[in-house]
Amino acid sequence: MKKLLFVLIIVLLYSNSQAQLFNKFSIAAGPVFGWNIPSFTDLNSELSKAGIEGFGSEGVFATGGGGFIDVPVVKGLRLGGYGYGYSSSKTTEFTNTSRIAEFSYSGGFVSVEYSRKIGKSFDWTIGGMAGIGSSNLKLVNFSNVLKEWNINNFTGDTAVNGNIVSLKSTSFSFVPQAGLGFQAAKFLYFKLNAGYLFTVNSKWKMEDIIEVNNFPSGIKADGFMVNLGLYIGLFVD
């Protein structure tokens, strides 16, 4: 009888611990819309030497998408994967020519977060994302004659030349971030995140082939970022 009672107690304790461990399960995916504020100070300094208008400090619109899963065997653990990026350009016109500078960043990340509920519909998270990113800088210088269509501008002895230089750097990217989530409906979840993008760039390359020496180290995608995700999925408390 004592042995049976001991076994029953062990079973009850195990069942209770399992109920606590498997407290929450979620799996969802959807689009992400955000705003990034990179520091363009060093880039603008270089562009000014070529007479190209610099980028503003107000930031740029960013888009992406991804998904996450609340791991049921570890309470509060949320794992995810995301793709995210932005692009911005500036055009400066002269009497006979125009010059364009375009800066873009894109990255793929895995995320690890701790989540905790606030009441019935809200939760907060803290954690980060890490992955591989790509920073791109394109510089274009062309004759304004090219703005009017004429096939002779592109062929033969009367062709008008333009210069296009594409530079690229691959980087390790890391984003510490905190977020606030809202369960709007049974299968719908909104998540607002705020964080800071850090990048460690490799050597910049022209046309992804020729390494460029002495490239300004301050030209990078680092900066504050905020985004809103709209997720559709399965949410079980």
The model's pLDDT over 35-69, given as tens digits with 9 standing for 90+, comes to 999 999 999 999 999 889 999 999 999 999 999 99
Residue 71 has, within 13 A of its CA and on its CB side, a CA count of 12
- Strand extents, DSSP E, the chain: 25-38, 60-70, 77-93, 97-118, 122-143, 163-185, 188-201, 205-206, 210-211, 223-236
Q: Output the CA–CA distances (angstroms, integers) from residue 44 to 91, 100, 106, 139, in the order listed.
A: 13, 13, 20, 13
Residue 235 amino acid letter: F
CATH number for region 24-236:
2.40.160.20
pLDDT for res 161: 66
Tell me how far apart the terminal alpha carbons of the chain are, to the nearest angstrom: 37
Here the tokens at position 236 are 């079980």
CA distance 42 to 28: 39
Burial 18-28, CB ≥16 within 10 A → b, else e: eeeeeebebeb
Nearest Cα neighbor of 177 from 40, 34, 6 is 34
The answer to whether the beta carbons of residues 173 and 198 sit under 8 Å apart is yes
The model's pLDDT over 139-188, given as tens digits with 9 standing for 90+, comes to 998 888 777 777 776 666 655 667 889 999 999 999 999 999 999 999 99
- Say if residue 22's pLDDT is above 60: no
Reported pTM: 0.82
CA distance 180 to 188: 14
Domain boundaries, the chain: 24-236
